[in-house]
């Protein structure tokens, strides 16, 4: 990630606000995607740019972890879905590669926590973003030292965890000066710093057993609960327990989402055909229904060099008709996602012993 460019863009936004609307800004909160992090050295300087979660360095790291602790033990300690993009496996990959950045690190900050540090000077990890790492205990809402010690991962580089809506402090004078805020001191607040945590906090639910689909590059399908789901069924179906606001938990499953469509479109644009998402939806509406279906979470679809080729190969391996035009590819992706959502809600009903009485779709994918 070009994290310095993102910080510059953030400060440009603050400067634009000050220029257009003045400096009467009460507070600022930041949320971002989960699992990725930055490492800082003893001088609080970046020890390299943060890696993208789709980097292939984590390939095989789940099996490495299972060679030290069984699956059941890791789930009992963390209650988090096993998916190789998790912070836990990124750190394990660095440990096994003897990465210099990890050896020199004095602090690990998740991406929104890094921005908060650069704005406020305060190093913390907000609970909802920390819970995406697979390194926290959902019962204590703190880092799981037993897990990290067992995997020989550093514990002392982790900052204290704070609950959502913690006031970190005023905007640093140096940032205020650069952005035109002068002596104004908007407060930097750690909201639900995981973007899905903030999205679910905003769901206009009116029933107690509502479900949600946070739809974008990823689809996060789940429920809001007052206790983590730590039983055998949650482990069997690979659910996760991520932090929420007001002492809640987001019991959910991460599904690959509209990444399949986005990457198909990227491939077609690269080859000279620039269809809009509206065009692709129209093509999909005209394609035959339920012709080709696949598991959107299959490893071959996580980071392929070419998504249409990966979908063709997966359909061929399953003995299903191979999509032959854009509408068929998009219909295959969307119908596969819809069935994955339905299956996930059925599994959630089994895990929790109660059904879903309404479903709210939030995020950019809600426009599809």
* pLDDT tens digit sequence for 237-262: 999 999 999 999 999 999 989 999 99
Catalytic residue of the set 113, 195, 274, 306: 195
Written as six digits, the tokens of 67 are 């060679």
Q: Tens of pLDDT along 121-157?
A: 999 999 999 999 999 999 999 999 999 999 999 999 9
Handedness of CA 154, 30, 58, 146 (dihedral sign): positive
Confidence of residue 2 (pLDDT cuts 50, 70, 90): very high
Give the other-Cβ count within 10 Å of 314's Cβ. 20
Does the pLDDT value for residue 184 go beyond 90? no
The pLDDT, as a whole number, for residue 303 is 87
Q: Tell me the whole-structure pTM to 2 decimals.
A: 0.91
In this structure, the answer to whether residues 150 and 210 fall within a common structural domain is no
Q: What is the DSSP letter of 144?
A: -
Domain boundary among 139, 165, 193: 193
Q: Report the CATH number that the domain containing residue 112 is assigned in CATH.
A: 3.30.420.40
In this structure, the answer to whether residues 83 and 205 fall within a common structural domain is no
Q: Cβ contacts of residue 356 below 8 Å, gap of 6+?
A: 209, 210, 211, 223, 345, 348, 349
Cα separation, 194 vs 189, in Å, equals 13
In this structure, the answer to whether residues 205 and 183 fall within a common structural domain is no
| 268-275: average pLDDT | 94
Domain of residue 42 covers: 3-193
In this structure, the answer to whether residues 94 and 143 fall within a common structural domain is yes
Q: Report the number of distinct structural domains present in the chain.
A: 2
CA atoms within a 13 Å half-sphere pointing along the CA-CB vector of 77: 21
Annotated catalytic residue 195: yes
In this structure, the answer to whether residues 281 and 331 fall within a common structural domain is yes
Confidence of residue 367 (pLDDT cuts 50, 70, 90): confident
In this structure, the answer to whether residues 27 and 132 fall within a common structural domain is yes
The continuous run of DSSP H or E covering 20 comes out as helix 3-21
Domain boundary among 173, 193, 213: 193
């Amino acid at each position: 990630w070009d994290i310095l460019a993102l910080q510059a863009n953030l400060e440009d936004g603050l400067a634009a606000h000050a220029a257009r609307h003045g400096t009467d800004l009460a507070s600022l909160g930041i949320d971002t995607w989960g699992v990725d992090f930055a490492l800082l050295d003893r001088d609080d300087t970046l020890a390299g740019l943060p890696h993208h979660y789709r980097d292939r360095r984590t390939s095989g790291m789940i099996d490495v972890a299972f060679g030290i602790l069984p699956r059941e033990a890791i789930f009992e300690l963390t209650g988090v879905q096993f998916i190789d993009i998790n912070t836990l496996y990124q750190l394990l990959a660095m440990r096994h590669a003897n990465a210099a950045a990890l050896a020199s690190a004095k602090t690990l900050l998740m991406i929104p926590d890094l921005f908060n540090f650069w704005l406020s000077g305060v190093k913390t990890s907000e609970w909802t973003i920390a819970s995406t790492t697979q390194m926290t205990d959902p019962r204590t809402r703190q880092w799981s030292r037993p897990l990290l010690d067992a995997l020989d991962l550093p514990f002392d580089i982790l900052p204290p965890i704070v609950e959502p809506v913690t006031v970190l402090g005023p905007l640093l004078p140096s940032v205020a000066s650069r952005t035109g805020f002068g002596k104004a001191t908007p407060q930097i607040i750690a909201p639900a710093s995981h973007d899905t945590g903030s999205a679910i906090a905003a769901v206009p639910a009116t029933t107690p057993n509502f479900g949600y689909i946070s739809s974008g590059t990823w689809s996060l399908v789940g429920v809001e609960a007052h206790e983590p789901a730590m039983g055998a069924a949650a482990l069997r179906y690979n659910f996760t327990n991520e932090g929420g606001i007001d002492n809640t938990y987001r019991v959910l499953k991460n599904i690959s989402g509209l990444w399949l469509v986005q990457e198909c479109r990227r491939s077609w644009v690269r080859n000279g055909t620039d269809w809009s998402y509206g065009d692709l939806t129209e093509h999909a509406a005209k394609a035959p229904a339920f012709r080709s279906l696949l598991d959107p979470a299959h490893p071959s679809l996580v980071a392929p060099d070419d998504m249409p080729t990966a979908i063709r190969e997966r359909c061929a391996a399953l003995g299903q008709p191979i999509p032959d035009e854009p509408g068929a590819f998009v219909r295959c992706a969307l119908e596969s996602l819809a069935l994955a959502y339905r299956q996930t809600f059925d599994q959630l009903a089994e895990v929790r012993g109660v059904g879903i009485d309404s479903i709210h779709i939030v995020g950019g994918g809600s426009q599809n």
